[in-house]
Amino acid sequence: MKLLKVDTVKEVKDKLKLYFDAAGFVSPSESVPLREAVHRYLTEEICSDTDIPQFTRSVVDGYAVIAKDTFGTGESAPVFLEVVGTVEMGKDCKLKLEPGQAVYVPTGGMLPLGSDAMVMIEYVESLDENTIAVYKAVAPNSGIMNRGDDFKEGQILFLRGHRITVKDVGMLAAIGKDHVTVFKKPRVSILSTGDEIIDIAETPKPGEVRDINSYTIAAFAEATGARIGFIEKVPDVGHQLRSALEAALAESDIVLLSGGSSAGNKDMTAETIDAMGKPGVITHGIAMKPGKPTIIGIIETEINDGFMRNKLVVGLPGHPMAAIVAYDVIVNDFMKRYCFHNEEEPIRLTARITENIHAGEGRETYQLVSLKRAEGEREKARDSDPEWFAEPIHAKSGSISQLMLADGYVKISSLSEGVKMNSSVEVTLIGR
């Protein structure tokens, strides 16, 4: 095994920036129907092209009035107003209110010109067809939503790179975006290397193991915005890996290699990546725990008539949990930056760590934790304490149950010596 210097996470990100930012990596875009746009990333800023509401409307059932007409009225001293019409839902209102007049408006209906408030039906008595008694004074603007109250024409609603959430759909519908332009999903292919790997539907013979990693990595890649190209098992033979990687690169933006962590395997992975083209392997290992045996390569590829583009190849560690931490810290971060132009921070949860965590030694530590509610015997010390406890997971590396039990990880900087029991930590949730 060649002994090569490992890069820090920051060094890795700087290198990637060099190849994908300076080179002007441009993500292709596509238009999708609003109903399919959830969890996609916007290619452009979206401004409102209209005031919302588009007209001043009532938010109650009752009568549109001129507020001043009601001043001084009360339960025992009503004011009498002339009813000059009724607003129909969905119709333009051509009426104009003069002092002393009122118009019936249902919830959501358009207010007539001249009116500036609504009196709820509960405070009104109908005396005859054309007259009402109003028993309550209302202030201007009460019971109505003015044109543009919600948002105004030209107002920026979403930035480029924004990840469309479920709760954004209503806003996009309000401004008539039945289609939105989003970044295409990067095509990610996964090659699973190792003579011992068999398909999960098969029954392993002694020495064989099911292909856990391909399924795990594919699930994380899809959940973080990728489209899965192909998934293939490749035996530990150099030329087979070479042709599989060549085929995968031709059809993908990103190729993930999931291999054993054996020395021979790592050498073969690095050699195969270098054989694909330039610049080849740029990182032979990362100063992080877990995730150290992560290999990163870049291959400049002609995609059409002389147009060159860099593609990313990442050799992930063989242990499932290390593979997922490396995926999250490197590949997911890469996709957010260069495929989706998204700079939004994920929501992290504050929790109290239940043990001392040793870290440091010049590498970033990602401690997997399981979240437990602060209940029962473990009462909160103070009202302001976090409601969650983060319990470090101690399953052996290589364990798959470790991943199932983990709600997230606590990142500990390479400059810190660790965190003390009972201190407050931030948990990045994973794989939910």
Nearer to a second copy, 34 or 84 (CB): 34
Residue type, 326: A
**Residue-wise burial string across 304-343, b where 16 or more C-beta atoms lie within 10 A, e elsewhere:** eeeeebbbbbbbbbbbbbbbbbbbbbbbbbbbbbbbbbbe
CB 301, min distance to a second copy, A: 27
Nearer to a second copy, 275 or 400 (CB): 400
Q: Are residues 63 and 101 in contact, defined by beta-carbon separation less than 8 angstroms?
A: no
| Cα 368 to chain centroid, rounded | 21
Enumerate residues 6+ apart whose C-beta is below 8 A from 6.
283, 284, 285, 286, 287, 292
Q: CA 210, 216, 219: angle at the middle one, nearest 5?
A: 135
Alpha-carbon distance values, 158 to 150, 169, 180 (Å): 15, 12, 12
Nearer to a second copy, 254 or 299 (CB): 254
CB 338, min distance to a second copy, A: 22
Nearer to a second copy, 77 or 166 (CB): 166
Nearer to a second copy, 73 or 214 (CB): 214
Nearer to a second copy, 108 or 277 (CB): 108
CB 375, min distance to a second copy, A: 11
Nearer to a second copy, 68 or 380 (CB): 380
CB 320, min distance to a second copy, A: 5
CB 4, min distance to a second copy, A: 15
Q: Please give the span between the terminal C-alpha atoms of the chain, in angstroms, as a whole number.
A: 37
Question: Which among 315, 325, 320, 326 has a CA at the least distance from the CA of 399?
Answer: 320
CB 412, min distance to a second copy, A: 15
Peptide linkage before 290 cis (omega within 30 of 0): yes
CB 429, min distance to a second copy, A: 7
Nearer to a second copy, 201 or 415 (CB): 201
CB 262, min distance to a second copy, A: 4
CB 150, min distance to a second copy, A: 5
Nearer to a second copy, 32 or 171 (CB): 171
